[in-house]
Structure 1
Amino acid sequence: MVDILKTLCLRFKGLQLGCFTLRYSLPSYPSCFLETDSDLDMMRTFLFVSNEKSIDILVKDLYGSSEYSGDFCVNKELIACEKGESSCSSTVKDRNEFLGRLKRASAKPLLSNEWETYIHHVGQKFDGGAEEFRLKLCKYALEVGFNFLHAGNDKKRVVAICSNKKLKGCSWRVYASRCEATGCFVIRTLNNVHTCAGRIQESKSKMMRSRVVSSLIVDRIRAKPELKPVEIIHKFKDYYGIDISHYHAWFGKELAKLNVHGDESKSFNELVWYADAVKETDPGSLCTLECEAGINRFRRFFVSFGGCIAGFQYCIPLLFIDATFLKSKYKGQLLCASGKNGNQGFYPLAFGVVDSETEEN
């Protein structure tokens, strides 16, 4: 297999080892990887079974945008790549064993198809730092069809190896670190060739983590905060061809909400600043924050803006008070006192956030 890869690099100028992929098509399997000796045995087995004399190979340059194709001819002992040749001495014991491991591509174009290009060459930069690199590495592994482990993982460097490193001695490895001058992450070393068994893109993968789910649904959560986990599961199946658990859908949604709206627990700390800002910028306003004595835990918060207080003297002297439940993490209720203006329209006078609808509140 190595000889074939080297021959392709000589045949097509600009190709580099580890920066391109090989695929071929079979009936009912329109996209099969060709990277290891095991993959080569699978392709040869199909040719023996189907009595075909040649098969078309697609060479995709991950670094550029070029694609090449050519016929690979086969006989019982030899597979030739145009002018270059590579002998295949391994024997096939069970044809069904190899044919059953082929990667089936969906007939519907999936949004995850471009993930295969996320990791491709040494010197590749990630402006989002370690977080962007980790996310793109997970998506790359999902699309390519393998699992990886972290040999090093912090803010300054990330080292990942194939999960088959110990069992099968797979040499796939990527090392990226932060560039102190720009703050971005840069791939320093990359061995992008798997020497383990043929890769398989599975509908369920350990690489599909909650943070990956969050990065993919953050725009949907911004537009539709009430999106349910079961809807997220169905959309992932339709758009990405991936099955995710209910937990990953739910926790991914929580992380997306945190990204869009911020941390709710930290927002309570901003109430002190907000109360002072209201009193300073809007004279005549009433703004009261009450906390439990000794522990300073939030109890209730009331606001009435100065403009609303001044305008209420021109309204009907009647107040309507009602409450609604808050559906945030910390629950509670929102109280609102409204009046009626001269046009019989609603006039907001005051509102408050409390723990429950009680006489005291």
Structure 2
Amino acid sequence: MEVCVIAKCTYKSETMMFSVSSESSMVDILKTLCLRFKGLQLGCFTLRYSLPSYPSCFLETDSDLDMMRTFLFVSNEKSVDILVKDLCGSSEYSGDFCVNKELIACEKGESSCSSTVEDRNEFLGRSKRASAKPLLSNEWETYIHHVGQKFDGGAEEFRLKLCKYALEVGFNFLYAGNDKKRVVAICSNKKLEGCSWRVYASRCEATGCFVIRTLNNVHTCVGRIRESKSKMMKSRVVSSLIVDRIRVKPELKPVEIIHEFKDYYGIDISYYHAWFGKELAKLNVHGDESKSFNELVWYADAVKETNPGSLCTLECEAGINRFRRFFVSFGGCIAGFQYCIPLLSSVILLLPDFLMVFPFLQSALF
């Protein structure tokens, strides 16, 4: 099956096109990209291609390439968008090989090409740093992926996952519309560089969940880089990530939160975001304390109304109405205690005689 399509490959603000036939391999594609894009080196980038309803598909192995060609043939597509995500930048990467020299050496059969390089699939794992520490945020890149995707948590869940997605992919966005029924977000480079990235989601009235209605998940602005500091890392995002930690360890300090985010997510957060994120997490776990205290007045009235004879006393500090103490004794308990008085009286009267028989208990009781 002869399949030849046009690959439109975008790196930073530049786009190049080349044909991909059934004879093409991943090594051919990687070589073409490294030769055409200045400063791009093997081991410093990943490839993703975009298809209708599937904007971020892996392109790392020859089998991925075959699957892409097959899908394009079945879908009768003549072109495909391939995105290059720069992971480290050519100035920071100091790998053990140079892509151009190694590829040329392999094709010429020179001895300088190692046995591991001779296998074409060995190139594929080098699109990411092998020594990079796995982060808990790696999965965030999959949070936004196709039209029709549902978010059972409504607008709040969609906004949180959108922020985490932007953090991991490495871009900032702005809200063009944001309320309980709809959320519209555009790339922050829309005005400066005319970036076409956009997502629109709204609430499904039948189920109450949020659904992505339209999605253009291709950035046409300058290449994106995942940064350790990002405007997308807000207190609500911090709260969503530490709520389980606060439930187990309420005394967790903001400084500890800052260190954990650096170690587990590779993200630097400010002390304010750590502190306020903790407060939001506590609010999520324990509820609003001020509202809870306000409910005491209602509770006292409800007890007196539904349980006649009850005694409820709410004491607050004069002038500032700060809570001091709350006492409650249910009417049923008060009435039942009346029958316990004769029994207690008998016990008190018999206690001296009891201690005379068992003198060793006197030291234990008094």
Range of TM-score over shorter length:
0.5 to 0.7
Are the aligned partners of 1:300 and 1:352 in contact in 2 as well (CA < 8 Å)?
Answer: no
TM-score (norm 1): 0.57
Are the aligned partners of 1:33 and 1:198 in contact in 2 as well (CA < 8 Å)?
Answer: no
Cα drift, residue 124 of structure 1? 0.6
Cα drift, residue 46 of structure 1? 30
Calculate the aligned-residue CA RMSD, in Å.
13.9
Alpha-carbon displacement from aligned partner over 1:136-181 (angstroms, at most 9, x marks no partner): 0000000000000001111111100001111111110001111111
Judging changes above 3 Å, is the alpha-carbon distance between structure 1 residues 159 and 114 closer, same or farther for their aligned structure 2 residues? Answer: same
Cα drift, residue 270 of structure 1? 1.0
> How many Å separate the matches in 1 of 2:148 and 2:231?
27
Alpha-carbon displacement from aligned partner over 1:53-85 (angstroms, at most 9, x marks no partner): 999999999999999999999999999999999
- Residues 156-305 of structure 1: matches in 2 within 5 Å? 156-278=181-303, 286-290=311-315, 300-303=325-328
Are the aligned partners of 1:115 and 1:136 in contact in 2 as well (CA < 8 Å)?
Answer: yes
Are the aligned partners of 1:302 and 1:350 in contact in 2 as well (CA < 8 Å)?
Answer: no
Cα drift, residue 50 of structure 1? 37
Aligned position for 1:15: 40
Cα drift, residue 265 of structure 1? 1.4
Higher RCO (C-alpha 8 Å, min separation 6): 2
Are the aligned partners of 1:129 and 1:184 in contact in 2 as well (CA < 8 Å)?
Answer: yes
Q: The residue matched to 1:188 in structure 2 has which SS? A: strand
Alpha-carbon displacement from aligned partner over 1:88-143 (angstroms, at most 9, x marks no partner): 99999999999999997972211100000000001111111100000000000000
Cα drift, residue 299 of structure 1? 6.1
Cα drift, residue 273 of structure 1? 3.0
Q: The residue matched to 2:117 in structure 1 has which SS? A: coil
Higher deviation after alignment, 83-92 or 248-257? 83-92
Structure with greater helix percent: 2
Higher deviation after alignment, 130-139 or 51-60? 51-60
Structure 2 residues not aligned, in runs of 5+: 1-25, 345-353
Alpha-carbon displacement from aligned partner over 1:171-218 (angstroms, at most 9, x marks no partner): 100011111111111111100001011110000000000000000011
> How many Å separate the matches in 2 of 1:256 and 1:153?
23
Are the aligned partners of 1:53 and 1:74 in contact in 2 as well (CA < 8 Å)?
Answer: no
Judging changes above 3 Å, is the alpha-carbon distance between structure 1 residues 9 and 75 closer, same or farther for their aligned structure 2 residues? Answer: closer
> How many Å separate the matches in 1 of 2:356 and 2:282?
30
Judging changes above 3 Å, is the alpha-carbon distance between structure 1 residues 297 and 230 closer, same or farther for their aligned structure 2 residues? Answer: closer
Judging changes above 3 Å, is the alpha-carbon distance between structure 1 residues 277 and 231 closer, same or farther for their aligned structure 2 residues? Answer: same
> How many Å separate the matches in 2 of 1:103 and 1:245?
28
Judging changes above 3 Å, is the alpha-carbon distance between structure 1 residues 217 and 120 closer, same or farther for their aligned structure 2 residues? Answer: same
Cα drift, residue 275 of structure 1? 2.2
Q: The residue matched to 2:281 in structure 1 has which SS? A: helix
> How many Å separate the matches in 1 of 2:43 and 2:184?
17
Are the aligned partners of 1:18 and 1:120 in contact in 2 as well (CA < 8 Å)?
Answer: no
Structure 1 residues not aligned, in runs of 5+: 320-346, 357-361
Are the aligned partners of 1:142 and 1:207 in contact in 2 as well (CA < 8 Å)?
Answer: yes
Alpha-carbon displacement from aligned partner over 1:253-278 (angstroms, at most 9, x marks no partner): 01111111111111122102332455
> How many Å separate the matches in 2 of 1:82 and 1:353?
99
Q: The residue matched to 2:251 in structure 1 has which SS? A: coil
Is 2:32 aligned against 1:25? no
Q: Percent identity?
A: 94
Q: The residue matched to 1:242 in structure 2 has which SS? A: coil
Judging changes above 3 Å, is the alpha-carbon distance between structure 1 residues 16 and 103 closer, same or farther for their aligned structure 2 residues? Answer: closer
> How many Å separate the matches in 1 of 2:161 and 2:198?
15
Structure with greater strand percent: 1
Aligned position for 1:67: 92
Q: The residue matched to 1:200 in structure 2 has which SS? A: coil
Cα drift, residue 287 of structure 1? 2.0
> How many Å separate the matches in 2 of 1:159 and 1:229?
32
Are the aligned partners of 1:237 and 1:243 in contact in 2 as well (CA < 8 Å)?
Answer: yes
> How many Å separate the matches in 1 of 2:360 and 2:272?
31
TM-score (norm 2): 0.56
Higher deviation after alignment, 347-356 or 196-205? 347-356
Select the structure of larger CA radius of gyration: 2
Judging changes above 3 Å, is the alpha-carbon distance between structure 1 residues 102 and 294 closer, same or farther for their aligned structure 2 residues? Answer: same
Aligned position for 1:350: 357
